[in-house]
Amino acid sequence: MESVYDVMARQLTEHFGVPQELIGPDATFEDMEFDSLAQVELATMLEDSLGVTLPEERKDFTLGEAAAYLERAAGCAGARAALVEAAQ
């Protein structure tokens, strides 16, 4: 199974054309010269593929921080879905 970080890195290279040498856990979206439109597009792609997205107010995440946040959020979303399913 592909990690959240790997999903983000793949989307950044394949869809946005970010050179792999710019992608790393300490890289920021500013480092990759992401404008606000690209950030919105990436957020939509992440929500489609992971079911969660990054908070709009946090534009200072590094890729490593963003991946960790998304992993926690996806885990919480999965736990909530399991609770709802168990309650039905």
pLDDT of 10-42, one tens digit each?
Answer: 999 999 999 999 999 999 988 888 888 888 898
At 83, the pLDDT band (50, 70, 90 cuts) reads low
Q: Give me the mean pLDDT over the 64-88 stretch.
A: 74
**Is 87 a residue whose pLDDT tops 70?**
no
Phi, psi dihedrals of residue 4, rounded to the nearest 5°: -60, -40
d(CA 72, CA 10): 20
pTM above 0.85, yes or no: no
Count of helix runs (H) and strand runs (E) in the chain: 3, 0
Using a pLDDT cut of 70, give the percent of the chain over it. 85
Residue 8's CB is within 10 A of a number of other CB atoms, namely: 23
